[in-house]
Structure 1
Amino acid sequence: MPSLTAACATPGMRRLRILPACLHEYRGFSALRPWRRPDAVLGWGRKPTALKARRFAARHAIPYVALEDGFLRSWGLGVDGHQPHSLVVDHRGIYYDATRPSDLERLIHAAPFAAEELARARRCMALIREYRLSKYNHAPARALPAGDRPRVLVVDQTAGDASIEFGLAAAATFEAMLQAALAEHPEADILVKVHPDVVAGKKRGHLLEAARHHPRCRLVGEALAPWSLLDAVDSVHVVTSQLGFEALLAGRRVVCHGMPFYAGWGLTDDRLTCPRRGRPRRLEEVFAAAYLRYCRYANPYTGEPSTLEATIDLIADQKRRHAQLAGDWVGIGFSSWKRRFVGDFLGARARLQHVARPDDAPPTAGIRRLVWSSHHQALEALERQPPAAPLWRMEDGFIRSVGLGVDLVRPLSLIIDASGIHYDPRRASDLERLLNDTTFSPHLLDRARRLRQRIVSAGLNKYNVGTPAAGLDLPEQHRILLVVGQVESDASVRCAAPEIATNAELLRRVRAAHPEAYILYKPHPDVVSGARLGQLDTEARRLYNRLITDISITALLERVDDVHTMSSLAGFEALLRGRRVTAWGTPFYAGWGLTRDHGRHCPRRARRLTLDELVAGCLILYPTYLDPRSRRLINVETAVGLLEQQRRTTRALPLPQRLYRGYRHLFIERH
C-alpha cells in the first residue's frame, strides 16, 4: 500500500477518474493548502494554473510532478466532458518543453530498447495506423478531392499554446513556416490546417488570413480526421503539433520549425537544434519511449489500470461505432422506460427523436427509422410503407446486465441492426454479414481469445443471476445433458424454432434421442421469476431427471457434457466453455460448423468459423456497449469490467422493480 500523498494544483485534476490508477504510487490526492505539506505537488505541465503549485513545491523543497494528457487521449474532447484514457507523468519537466530536460528525453536517450519492447512498439504502431487513431478521434473521416498537383500540409496551432513558447518557437515562426513550405514546394498546393474554432472566431490562430489570400494555399478549417489529411499529402510542416509525429507513423516526410518531442533524433527535417538531443533514434524507439514508457494508461469507465493495446482497442471501437451510428434517427414506438437510454446507444454524433406510431415518422429519406425488434405491429406497418428511409432493429445484447430486462434493469449492451436481427434466420442480419465477410486479423482473434477466457473465468453470462453449483450432486455413470428452457412467446423461438415452439416439445425430442441420459432442465429466469409464462405440462415434467431453477447457467455449464436448446443464448455461452451444443432451431451461432444442428438449414451461412472468429463477430463487432455512468459508448472488455464491478456490489432487487414484476405477471403476461 503506497504511503505517499500528493496535492493537486486544480480541482479538475482531482476529478480525473484515472488519476489513482495512473499515479498508483500515491495513496491520496488532496487540494493544495498552505498549511498542509504533501509528499509531492501535481500540476498540469507548464500551464499558468501550475505556477502556484510549482512555487509551493520549490518553497517547501518537495517534488513537483507535471501531468499532461497522453498522446492517445480519448475519442472526444476534454471540453466536451470526455475523460482522458492516458496521462504522462514527468518528474523533470514536460515533453513539450525543450528549454529543459524531461523524463521523455531521458527515456529516448536510454535506447536501445529490448527486442521484445521494440516488437511491441511496432505492433502498436501498426494498430494505430490500421485504426487511424490520433490524440483525439471524434472528427469525421472524409477523403479530400483528388488533385493533379502534389500537396503539402502546413499545420497551424491556436495562439497561446504552451508547446509553442516552450518548443523554442513564437508566433512569427508560423508565417516563416508557411513561406518556407511555399518556397520549398513550388509545384505543390499547400493545405493549411487551421483549428475550426479559429475559423469560427472563437480562438486565435496564426495562419488564417495568409491561407485565405495566397493563391496556392487551401484552407482546411473544418473538423477532419488527421489521417484524412495525411492520406492526401507527401510532406508535413509543423511547429510543435503532435500531428507531426502521427505523420511519421504514416510514413510522411516531416519538417519541424519548432522543437517538439520527436524532433532532434534524426527522424525529421529540423530547422532548430537542441544540444541535449542529436542522437539518431529509430521511429520505434521514440514510440516505445513516448507511448510505452512515458505514458500511463487507465480505463476512465472502470477506473482500472490499462495498457496501450487495450486503450487502442477501446478508442478504436468507440470511433468505429460513432462513425457507423452518426446522423439522424427516429425511434418508433419505444416505451417511456426505453426512451431514457436508447439514444445514448447511438453515440454523441447521432440525433434521435421519438414518435409513438409509424405514421408519425417523418418521411425524410436521410432519417433512419429505429424499432425495438419485438414491436411487431410497428415493424409490419413500416415494412408495408415505401422504403423511404432505412429500417433498423434494436434488441438486447449478449452480455447485458446484472439482472433481468423484464425487471427494468438497464442494459450495458444493445444490438442495432440495419439488415434484420440476429435471432431471425428467415432474413439476413448484420451479424451474418460480419461472420460471413470479415477477415479476422490475428490481433482481433487474440483479443477474442482473451475475452472468451475472461468471460469464462469470471462466470459471466447475459443476465448474471443465480447461485453457484457447489452443492449440486450429479450421477457419474450417466451422460449429463442440460436442456435450456425459453420464454415460448419470445420472437427468437417463433423465428428460429417454429417446428418445436415449446419447451415441452424440446424435452420430448431430447429424451427420444437420448433415452439413457440424465437430463437437467433449466427454465428461463423470466419464467422462474413469474414475470413471463412458459411452464411445462405434467407430461413434460416426467421427461427430465432434475429441475434446476436457482443455479446460474454458467455454473451449470461447467458440470454438464452436452447442452440442448431451441435457440437460447445459453448455447453460445456453452460454446465459450467448450461444451457440445445441439441446436434444435437455427440460432445465430448455428450453421457455422460449431454446433450439431437439427433446425432448418440456413444456406446463407456457408462459412466454417473457429470459435474465436464467432466470438469476435458476436461480442466485439456486432453489439453496441454503453457505460451507464458517463453515458458514453465503450467496448466489450470495458462492459465486462463494469459487470464484474456491478456483480460485486449488486444486492436484492429494489422494491419498485419487485412491484413491477408482480404487476407484469398479473396484468400483462396473463392477457
Structure 2
Amino acid sequence: MPNDSTVLRPSSPRVAGYLSKGLARWNIIHCLLPEYSRQVRLKPGSRQPVDAILGWGLKPTSTQARRLAARRGVPYVAIEDGFLRSLGLGVNYSQPHSLVVDCSGIYYDATRPSDLERLLAEANFDADELARANLAMQRLRHLRLSKYNHAPDRPLPLADRPRVLIVDQTRDDASITYGMADASSFQHMLECAIADHPDAEILIKTHPDVIAGRKQGYLTQASKHPRCRLIGDDLNPWALFDAVGSVYVVTSQLGLEALMAEKPVHCFGMPFYAGWGLTRDALRCERRQRQRTLPELFAAAYLRYCRYANPYTGQASTLEATIDLIADQKRQRDRLAGRWLAVGFSSWKRAFITDFLGPASSVRFLQSDHPQPLELEGRDSLVVWGQKATDEIKALCRQHGLKLWRMEDGFVRSVGLGVDLTRPLSLAFDSRGLYYDANNPSDLEYLLAETDFEPALLARAGRLRQRLIELKLSKYNVRGKTRPVLPQDMGGSRPIVLVPGQVESDASIAHGSPEIKTNQALLEAVRQNRPDAFVVYKPHPDVVSGARIGLFDSTARKLYDLELVDYDIVDLIELADEIHTMCSLTGFEGLLRGVEVHTYGLPFYAGWGLTHDRLHASRRQRRLTLDALIAGALLMYPTYVDPATGELCNADTAVELMRQQRDQRSGLPLRVRLYRLYRNLFSRRR
C-alpha cells in the first residue's frame, strides 16, 4: 500500500543517523523514511558517516542532534508525531500510526518556514485530492477521531446558556514558544473570550496532569471567575465541540479539529493552520498571504505532509487505512471497557485474554467454575469460554447485575491450531450467545440482521476478501501437501463435492446441527443428494492430530471417492464445485472463494440467501450480499490483537500478520511436536 507523502526513493543508498532512543522504539520509522536506505543510532563519539541527522522536532531533547548535524554539515531532519497518531498516548508507549518528516523546519515553528507552510503557500490541489480530503474529514467527524483517541467520549451535561471553549496548554510547551506566544497570550485569550461572550459559560479545557499537580498550565486560576469552569478530565474533543459554539486556542491542535467540527476558531498564537483565512487571528505571519479552504488545508497537512504506516505490520499505509485501523481499535476498546471476571480459563488462555479485553478494561481470573457472590462485587461483566455458562453462573449474573459474555476463537485465527496452544490473533466476545448456537440469538446474528452496511465498509470487505483469496489464508493456516491431482477417470463430467470433517464432540455441532451430528451421517446425506458426484472427504486437523474425536468406521469409507488428509484446505476449496457441510467454517471460506455451499446445520453464514440450506433459520429473514456477510463476520464481530505489542488491531492487520508468520515458519515448531507427543501419550493413558 503506497504512502501518502510524495517522497522519491534515493538513486543511491543514503544513511540517516539519530541519537534518540525514542526513535528506535517506534516500529514505523524505517518504512516511513524511504529517502534513507538505513537509519543507524549514533553512539557518543561515533564517526560513522551519515547523510542526515534525525531528531524529535525542536524539543529540548533534539538540541544535541541539531548541533551534531551542524558540526557535520549535513541536514537536520525533524520528526514529530502525525496529526492522527494512535489510539493511546505516546507517553504510555502506544505505537504511532503516523509521523511528519520535515527537512526545512517543523510545523509548529512559525518563526521560519516549514515544509508544511511551503505546501500551503505554493501547492495546488486537484479536484480528486480535495474530494479525498472532504471524505476523510467527514469520516473523522463521524468516527469522532482525534490526534490521540484514549479519552472517553461522554457528553457534557446540558446547560441553560451558550458555552465557549478555551484550550489551555502545559506551560513552556515548544509549540507555544515557537508559535509566537507566551503566558500573556493565554491571559489575552481569556479576556477576549469573556468580553466577546458576556452571557456564555466559559469552559477551560486543561491538561489532566495540570489538575493533578504534575504539570503547570496557564489558566488554572481562571476558575475563580464566576463564568469560568475548568475541565480537567480526559474527554474526547468531539464531546467538547458538541457542547460549545466557539473555540479559543493559542497553538493547540484542537483548533484544527474544531475547524473540522465547523466551529469558529480564534487563535492567539500562530499554529500552522492560522494565517490562511480560516481562523480569527490575533497575530499575523507575513509569509502567510494566501487564502486557503479547509479541504486544501487538510489535504496539505493530512495527505501530503503526514506519512502513515501500520505499526504492527511495519508497512507504509494511507490516511484512509489508518482511519480504519484506529476506528476499529477504538470501537473494540469501547465495547469491552469495564471490570471483568473471567471464570474457568486455563493458564495459557489467561496469558492473552487481558490483551483482547483492551486498555479500558481490568480483569480478575477465577480458576473455579463456581464463583462466589463476594467475588462478583465491583465487576461489570463476566466471561466464560464457549458454552461454559452454567445455570448457576447465569443466575449469579442476573442477581448481581453483571453482563454475561461468551468467548470463542475468531474466524481468521492463527498460523497453527488452537489445540496445539497456538496463540490466537482474533477472538469473538458475544454478549447475547455464541455465533455457532443456532438455538439462540448472538451478537453476530444481530449485526448481520440489523447493520446498515455503508458503501465504504462493503468496499473494504471486498478488498479483504480479495486479500484472503490472494494469500490463500483460512482459519488456522496449517501448511499441507501441494495441491492434489484428482484421478483422471472423473472425465471432467462429475462435479467435485468437498465434505469437510468436523470434531463430533464440538459444541458447534451440538448447538448448530440439530439433525445430522456425525461425519458419517453427513457423508450418507451427501451421497444421497449427489449420487453422481466425486466426493472428497477432508478430516478435521484436530482429529488427524489425535486431539479430538471425529473418526468413523470402515463402512463409511464407501461413501466418498477420495480422502485427503494433509492437504491445505484452501487448495481443496479451490478444486471443489460444491461444499457440503454440517456447520464447518469451511463453508464460509468457500463462499469467500465463490464456491457453491450446501449446509445441513445452521452455521452463522446460513439463512442469508447465500447458501443452499437444508434447515430454516426463522430469525434470519434478511438477504445479504457476500461483502455484507464478510463485513459483519470479519470486520465488525471479532476482536483482533497484535501478539508482539499486545495492542488491539483489526482484521486487515491480522491478515497481514498471519502472512508474515506463515512465511517465516518452516515446518511444525519443535514446541508443537513435543506438546503433541505429550498430549497423545497422556490421552492414551486415560
1:598 corresponds, among 599, 605, 614, to 614
TM-score (norm 1): 0.97
Shift of 1:650: 1.5
Superposed CA RMSD in Å reads 1.5
Q: Deviations over 1:117-159 (max 9, x none)?
A: 1111111111111111000001001100111111110000001
Give the corresponding residue for 2:209. Answer: 197
Q: 1:620 to 1:148 in 2, by over 3 A?
A: same
Q: Would the aligned equivalents of 2:163 and 2:203 in 1 still touch at CA under 8 Å?
A: yes
1:643 corresponds, among 658, 680, 685, to 658
2:23 corresponds, among 13, 27, 32, to 13
Shift of 1:363: 3.3
Structure 1 counterpart of 2:653, one-letter code: T
Give the corresponding residue for 1:617. Answer: 632
- Report 1:273-288 matches (<5 A): 273-288=284-299
Q: Deviations over 1:235-264 (max 9, x none)?
A: 000000000000011111101111111101
Shift of 1:519: 0.6
Q: Would the aligned equivalents of 2:483 and 2:567 in 1 still touch at CA under 8 Å?
A: no
Q: Deviations over 1:66-104 (max 9, x none)?
A: 110000000000111101111101011000000000100
CA distance in 2, matches of 1:386, 1:467: 44
Shift of 1:593: 0.7
CA distance in 1, matches of 2:378, 2:599: 40
Residue 369 of structure 1: SS of its match in structure 2?
strand
Give the corresponding residue for 1:412. Answer: 425
CA distance in 2, matches of 1:196, 1:256: 22
Structure 2 counterpart of 1:217, one-letter code: C
Give the corresponding residue for 2:268. Answer: 257
Give the corresponding residue for 1:129. Answer: 141
Structure 2 counterpart of 1:198, one-letter code: V
Give the corresponding residue for 1:31. Answer: 41
Give the corresponding residue for 1:340. Answer: 351
Give the corresponding residue for 2:531. Answer: 515
Q: Would the aligned equivalents of 1:532 and 1:665 in 2 still touch at CA under 8 Å?
A: no
Shift of 1:664: 3.2
Q: Would the aligned equivalents of 2:341 and 2:379 in 1 still touch at CA under 8 Å?
A: no
TM-score (norm 2): 0.95
The farther-off stretch of 166-175 and 46-55 is 46-55
Structure 2 counterpart of 1:16, one-letter code: W
The farther-off stretch of 34-43 and 69-78 is 34-43
Q: Would the aligned equivalents of 1:531 and 1:669 in 2 still touch at CA under 8 Å?
A: no
Q: Would the aligned equivalents of 1:9 and 1:49 in 2 still touch at CA under 8 Å?
A: no
Q: Would the aligned equivalents of 2:276 and 2:292 in 1 still touch at CA under 8 Å?
A: yes
Give the corresponding residue for 1:633. Answer: 648
Q: Deviations over 1:333-365 (max 9, x none)?
A: 001111111111000110000112223362337
CA distance in 2, matches of 1:358, 1:333: 8
The answer to whether structure 1 residue 502 and structure 2 residue 536 are counterparts is no
Give the corresponding residue for 1:560. Answer: 576
Give the corresponding residue for 2:6. Answer: none
Structure 1 runs not aligned, ≥5 long: none
Q: 1:666 to 1:494 in 2, by over 3 A?
A: farther
Q: Deviations over 1:267-317 (max 9, x none)?
A: 111111111112111101010010000000111111111111111011001
Residue 359 of structure 1: SS of its match in structure 2?
coil
Residue 320 of structure 1: SS of its match in structure 2?
helix
CA distance in 2, matches of 1:670, 1:442: 56
Q: Would the aligned equivalents of 2:483 and 2:572 in 1 still touch at CA under 8 Å?
A: no
CA distance in 1, matches of 2:72, 2:123: 35
Q: Would the aligned equivalents of 2:382 and 2:397 in 1 still touch at CA under 8 Å?
A: no
CA distance in 1, matches of 2:544, 2:197: 74
Residue 26 of structure 1: SS of its match in structure 2?
coil
Residue 597 of structure 2: SS of its match in structure 1?
strand
Give the corresponding residue for 2:365. Answer: 354
Structure 1 counterpart of 2:282, one-letter code: R
Give the corresponding residue for 2:382. Answer: 369
Q: Would the aligned equivalents of 2:483 and 2:568 in 1 still touch at CA under 8 Å?
A: no
Q: 1:196 to 1:669 in 2, by over 3 A?
A: farther
The answer to whether structure 1 residue 394 and structure 2 residue 407 are counterparts is yes
- Report 1:95-134 matches (<5 A): 95-134=107-146
Give the corresponding residue for 2:483. Answer: 470
The farther-off stretch of 567-576 and 110-119 is 110-119
Residue 593 of structure 1: SS of its match in structure 2?
coil
CA distance in 2, matches of 1:326, 1:93: 40
Q: 1:344 to 1:315 in 2, by over 3 A?
A: same
- Report 1:206-245 matches (<5 A): 206-210=218-222, 212-245=223-256
Residue 408 of structure 2: SS of its match in structure 1?
strand
Structure 2 counterpart of 1:92, one-letter code: S
Q: 1:400 to 1:386 in 2, by over 3 A?
A: closer
Q: Would the aligned equivalents of 1:239 and 1:260 in 2 still touch at CA under 8 Å?
A: yes
CA distance in 2, matches of 1:386, 1:68: 47
- Report 1:450-489 matches (<5 A): 450-467=463-480, 469-474=482-487, 475=490, 476-489=492-505
CA distance in 2, matches of 1:454, 1:25: 29
CA distance in 2, matches of 1:669, 1:497: 29
- Report 1:310-329 matches (<5 A): 310-329=321-340
Shift of 1:667: 3.8
Q: How many residues of Structure 1 are paired with residues of Structure 2 in the alignment? A: 667
CA distance in 1, matches of 2:91, 2:378: 33
Shift of 1:14: 2.1
Q: Would the aligned equivalents of 2:599 and 2:606 in 1 still touch at CA under 8 Å?
A: yes
Q: Deviations over 1:416-451 (max 9, x none)?
A: 111101000111100011111111111111111111
Structure 2 counterpart of 1:619, one-letter code: L
Give the corresponding residue for 2:92. Answer: 80
Residue 353 of structure 2: SS of its match in structure 1?
coil
Give the corresponding residue for 1:159. Answer: 171
Q: Deviations over 1:312-339 (max 9, x none)?
A: 0110011111111111000000011111
Q: Would the aligned equivalents of 2:512 and 2:602 in 1 still touch at CA under 8 Å?
A: yes
Residue 605 of structure 1: SS of its match in structure 2?
coil
Structure 2 runs not aligned, ≥5 long: 1-8
CA distance in 2, matches of 1:668, 1:412: 28
CA distance in 1, matches of 2:299, 2:208: 32
Q: 1:450 to 1:386 in 2, by over 3 A?
A: closer
CA distance in 2, matches of 1:605, 1:127: 31
Q: Would the aligned equivalents of 1:479 and 1:561 in 2 still touch at CA under 8 Å?
A: yes
Shift of 1:53: 1.6
Shift of 1:537: 1.6
Q: Deviations over 1:590-616 (max 9, x none)?
A: 0111100012x2211111110111000
Give the corresponding residue for 2:5. Answer: none
Q: 1:643 to 1:530 in 2, by over 3 A?
A: same
Q: Would the aligned equivalents of 1:142 and 1:228 in 2 still touch at CA under 8 Å?
A: yes
2:185 corresponds, among 165, 173, 176, to 173
Structure 2 counterpart of 1:472, one-letter code: V
Shift of 1:54: 1.5
CA distance in 1, matches of 2:397, 2:173: 53
CA distance in 2, matches of 1:115, 1:504: 62
Q: 1:386 to 1:457 in 2, by over 3 A?
A: closer
Q: Percent identity?
A: 57
4+ residue segments displaced more than 4 Å: 668-671
CA distance in 2, matches of 1:307, 1:545: 49
Structure 2 counterpart of 1:629, one-letter code: A
